[in-house]
Structure 1
Amino acid sequence: MTRTGWIAAVVSTVIALIVGFGTGWWAQRAATASPEPATAAQRPHPDDVEDRPETGFEAVVVSLDETHDFGDGLTIHLSGFERGVEQSGIDPVSGQEGDLPYLSWTVEVANEGDETVPTGLVTRSCSVGDPLRESGSPVLGDSVNPPDSLDPGQSGSWDEDCWADEGDTQIRYTVEFHDQDFVPLYPPVTFAGTVD
């Protein structure tokens, strides 16, 4: 090999090493570089995340006259079922308007434990009839707001109602307690049974 050929071979080898090293270095850097933060549009919605934490709560179904104990001293009970008719009522669920019959009752909660218990935000739903159908609420009571929390020995109550025809004797009423982030505080409890 001539001196010129030898120099050319060495230069080619060096260039190949430099190019190979550079390509590998850039590939490694790209693979280990921190990704840019996802924008709000790219982030998965909490409902779309398959491995989001589960609450572990299973719904509890009890009879209408039963007192349910959530386990930390908080109890809940329904009382005082009555029927009435709301003049000029509007049921947004069924679309009915006029003199509409309804069913009303009182929800009683009490703290029989030794520590303050939160009740937070309360969501409620009602179904009536046979077969059961979802029913709206006229919200006619004098006291319709549940307490936020209960101190030891303290009790509270609120008025509930839902549209129900005279022939609607079956009722299912579900109560759920959530914190400010809408995380359930207790298992949902459903009261189910027959009313006259």
Structure 2
Amino acid sequence: MTRTGWLVAAACTAVALVLGFGAGWFAQRASAAPPVPEPSARNPHPDDVEDRPETGFEAVTVGLDETHDFGDGFTIGLDGFERGVEVGGVDPDTGQEGDLPYLSWTVEIANEGSETVRTGLVTRSCSVGDPLRESGSPVLGDSVNPPESLDPGQSGSWDEDCWADEEDTHVQYTVEFHDQDFVPLYPAVTFAGTVG
């Protein structure tokens, strides 16, 4: 074999070795790559209805002027509906600013039973109008925090409100008591009706 032939043969062998080594190296790297992790389970959010634990509670709807008894002497009712105007108000839900009309009332709870009642965390929502539309709350009351518990014979209350025009006579207010894990302690209660 001539010298040129040897050089060509040596070059071909070198290229084959490099390609073979490279392919083997890449194959080894690919097999050594860490596995792609499976997506982790998402933590449930209190507002994700599908993720809430089953409680066996059925929601209750009563009139605006009715008192609901949860059982064992624990009751809830609404009182003192009034209309007002927040001068220089801002509704963050709609972006509306100016002199904004609202509706306010008091939520009254009582424990006429023999055991302490835990009320825990309270979620509330308000809808107004016909058809109903969800409305935000200006939170203008003097006492806006519900009591966390009621001893036997004790009662408590807090102020509620929501933006509502003068012609918004239909009102729907829902309240639900939860523990620290947002598991409902009692059925959700919706008060629905009309106000002047």
Alignment TM class, shorter chain as reference: 0.7 to 0.9
1:1-196 alignment runs, 5 A limit: 42-43=40-41, 45-46=43-44, 53-196=53-196
Structure 2 SS opposite 1:115? coil
Q: Distance in 2 between matches of 1:87 and 1:77?
A: 29
Distance (Å, rounded) in 2 between the aligned partners of 1:44 and 1:157: 36
Q: Cα deviations across residues 128-154 of structure 1 (Å, max 9, x unaligned)?
A: 000000000000000000000000000
In the TM superposition, what is the alpha-carbon distance from 1:53 to its structure 2 partner?
4.4
**What stretches of structure 1 of length at least 5 have no aligned partner?**
1-38
Helix, strand or coil at the partner of 2:71: coil
Instruction: Return the letter of the residue paired with 1:133.
Output: R
Q: Please provide the CA RMSD for this pair.
A: 2.1
Question: Structure 1's 84 and 55: CA in aligned 2 closer, same or farther, altered over 3 A?
Answer: same
Q: Compute the displacement of 1:41 (Å).
A: 5.0
TM-superposed CA distance for 1:42, in Å, is: 2.7
Whether contact under 8 Å (1:93, 1:134) holds in the other structure is: no
- Asked if the contact 1:77/1:109 (under 8 Å) is kept, the reply is yes
Question: Can you give the 5+ residue segments of structure 2 that lack an aligned partner in the other structure?
Answer: 1-36
Letter in 2 for 1:77: G
Q: What secondary structure sits across from 1:70 in the alignment?
A: strand
Q: Distance in 2 between matches of 1:180 and 1:154?
A: 22
8 Å contact 2:53–2:183 — kept in the other structure?
no
Question: Equivalents in 2 of 1:89, 1:114: separation in Å?
Answer: 44
Shift of 1:94: 1.9
Distance 1:53 1:91, change over 3 A: closer
Using a 3 Å threshold, how does the CA distance of structure 1 residues 149 and 51 change in structure 2: closer, same or farther? closer
- C-alpha change, 1:42 and 1:109, in structure 2 (3 Å) is same
